[in-house]
Structure 1
C-alpha cells in the first residue's frame, strides 16, 4: 500500500513538472527555409561529457565553424529588415547575440531564396580549453541539423546544452529577420 502511495505521488509530481515546462518554440509555425549542403561534420549527437564551461569571452569563428544560438531580446536600435530578395538570391542574415552561461553565441545564416544553405557561427564561448573541446564537436552537428531541418527546430547536443540553446535562439532570430 505504501509503495502505491509513493508511486502515485511521484507520478503526480512528474506530470506537474512536465506541464510547467515552457516550450522553446516561437509562437506560431516555425519558418521552414530550404535545404542545402551541410557545412558541419558528423551526424547525430556529439559525444561529450559534462557541460559547457568557461569564462564567457567571445571569439570570432571562421565562416565554416558552427555556432550555438539563443535569442536575446531585440533592441530598439535594431535595423529594420531589408525587403525580401527575389527567389534564388543568396543573402546572409545575422541572428541576435545570445548571452549564455559561458559566453555569447551568434550565428549568421546564408539563404538562397528561402532555403538555408549554410550556418556560420560568428561568436561562441572559447575562453577555456573545455569550451573549445565542446564547441569543436557540437557546432558542426548543430550546423548540419539546422540545414537538414531548414528551421530552428533542432535537438540540443548532449554535453553542450548551453551552447545548443544559444545557437537555436540566435538561429531563430536570424530566420525571423529573414522573413521580415
Structure 2
C-alpha cells in the first residue's frame, strides 16, 4: 500500500513538472525595420547583430558635441525571445529609444509588450540611463530591454 502511494505521488509530480516546462526554441519575433514595417523572423538572425550608425548634425561649442547619432544595442535572449533596442542621442542626451526586436509569438506576448514597451521607453528617456524599474507582468521583457539599453549606452560611450 505504501509503495503505491509513493509511486503515484512521484508519477503525478513528474507529469506536473513535464507539463510546466516551456521548451526554448527558435521562436518567431517581430522585427521593426526601417520604414516602420514589421516582419517575422527567427531568433539568431542577422538582426541580432549589434550595430551603430551616426548622422551628423550641428557641432557644439566648448568641446561638447551635439551630433545626433543612433546606436543599436545587442540582442538579449529572454525566456520568450530576444529583445533589442536602438537609442538616439543628441550629444550625450538620450532623446529616443526604439525597440527593434521583441517577443511577439502569441497573443499574450503581444498584449504584454503593447503596454510594457511604451512604459519602458518613457522611463529610459526620463532617467537618461538604463537604471529603470521593470514593468510588473513583463519581467523578462523588461530585463532584456534594460540589458540591451545598457549595451547601446555602453557602445555610445555613456
Question: Scaled by the length of structure 1, what TM-score is found?
Answer: 0.57
Structure 1 portions without partners, runs of 5+: 1-53, 65-76
Question: Scaled by the length of structure 2, what TM-score is found?
Answer: 0.64
Superposed CA offset, 1:115-163 (max 9, x none): 0100000100001000000000000000000000000000000000000
Which of the two has higher C-alpha Rg? Answer: 2
Q: Which has the higher contact order (CA 8 A, sep 6+)?
A: 1
Give the root-mean-square deviation of aligned CA atoms: 2.8
Mapping for residues 80-91 of structure 1, pairs under 5 Å = 87-91=65-69
- More helix as a share of residues: 2
1:81 CA displacement:
9.3
Q: Which residue of 2 aligns with 1:101?
A: 79
Structure 2 portions without partners, runs of 5+: 1-23, 37-48, 60-64
Query: In the alignment, which of 16, 23, 30 is matched to residue 59 of structure 1?
Result: 30
State the number of aligned residues: 113
Q: Which residue of 1 aligns with 2:40?
A: none
1:122 and 1:159 map into 2 onto residues whose CA distance is 21
